[in-house]
Amino acid sequence: MKKKLILFLCFVLGLVTVSEAQIFGDLGSNRVATSSFQFLKIGVGAREVALAETGISLTSDANSIFWNPGHIAFLPSYSTSFSYNRWYADINQTTLATVYRLEEIGSFGFSLNYLSTEAMERRTTLQPYGTGEKFNYYDLAAGLTYARQMTTQFTFGITAKYIREQLAEVNFSAVAIDLGMTYILDENDTRLSIALMNFGGRHKPSGKATPPDTQPVDAYQEYQTPSNFRLGMSKFLFKTEDHDILGAVQLNHPNDGAENYSFGIEYGYMKLIYLRTGMKLNVDGQEIPSFGIGLNKTLYAFDLKVDYAASYIDPLGYAHRFTLGISLPEGDLR
């Protein structure tokens, strides 16, 4: 037990050391608008968002890839999750994650995160209603994940992903990694998790932009990927055969914003119906709690999950997320 805990602490120390230059180097300074690929900061998965994005220590489906790659080692031999996020200003986000576990080798995963809008009108000062031309915008992140349960209590995972952003003639590409692990503290399944997400170098766009009524631009400054150091814990506060209450808490330390905190709580009835809510602290415009509902059903040889969540950002209003998950009925599906 002590050796495993020492191993866990050594890993945490190493992860903090690796991330220090990118995340902690700007502590105390104004870090707003210093990173790129902002779509990576949008929460994925209805369950996790309903719980105020405390997903780092939660395991329920393949969406774990987007929160803590080490957590997919707890999933059954096969799990797939599809999520849709109706974001603001006619922006839509679609994500797909799938996990397959090979005994004695580990768990492998693939993830896709795609955000886009319909084609938009080009406008200029002299033609404010449009020039007749249109341009496209999209964000894309595709990743490959490997995770392994090192012991009965300790898991580790890593994701390597390719990121791309396209805005008219300008594109922006980068490679980043996610590192994550979880340690089970006791027989009551109390979990402590740590993750470093979107860790990468500095990158700059390419292509020639032609702003309205000005000269073309083909020189750009460099930006970092939006790295986020996460630390979280989850625990069953109450559990019987028909009822359970799960609590989760998470600390987020982004490289381009203020440190913030999240709390979530989930009530489950007969492992069939789930009610969820959560709250964020120190996040501007997100003081109103998020909420959601989930339904689980075993059909033939598969476990099916349908989740919904609503989260509020002032002054934009509510965003709505839907998740459909399917997995084999074995392993840890908490």
Q: Which residue segments constitute the domains of the chain, with CATH numbers given?
A: 2-327 (2.40.160.60)
Instruction: Give the chain's mean pLDDT.
Output: 87
Amino acid code (one letter) for 234: S
Neighbours of 47 (CB within 10 A): 27
pLDDT over 90 at 234, yes or no: yes
pLDDT over 60 at 26, yes or no: no
Q: Using pLDDT thresholds of 50, 70 and 90, give the confidence band for residue 196.
A: very high
Find tokens 């996460």 and name the residue.
230
Tokens coding 34 = 């210093």
Residue 6: predicted pLDDT: 55
Report CA Rg, the chain: 21
Beta bridge partners of 242: none
Residue 27: predicted pLDDT: 43
Residue 201: predicted pLDDT: 86
